[in-house]
Amino acid sequence: MKEFQYTITDQQGIHARPAGMLVKEAAKYQSSITIEKDGKTGDAKRIFAVMALGAKCGNTITVKVDGADEAEAAAAIESFLKANL
């Protein structure tokens, strides 16, 4: 399992547009991808789960990737977050 933390820098946090883009990116991989914030966990492949976390600017999220293509998926999700959030 791969795991990394990321601090949200977008002033609006994880709102609808980037959440949808994140779900599309996560869906490209077989691995299970979860996002955790303040003890709540959401499936990165489900937009409502991502939005329900309520991640705001300055919040730190933990991303966990587990599966056959976990290294590739973790790198792609981390790159996505740095570019968009």
31 phi and psi angles, rounded to 5 deg: -60, 155
Q: Is 78 helix (H, G, I), strand (E, B) or coil?
A: helix
Identified catalytic residue from 4, 10, 15, 66: 15
Our answer to whether residue 59 is catalytic in this structure is no
Is residue 61 classed exposed, middle or buried when 0-12, 13-18 and 19+ CB atoms within 10 A define those classes? buried
Q: Which residues are catalytic?
A: 15
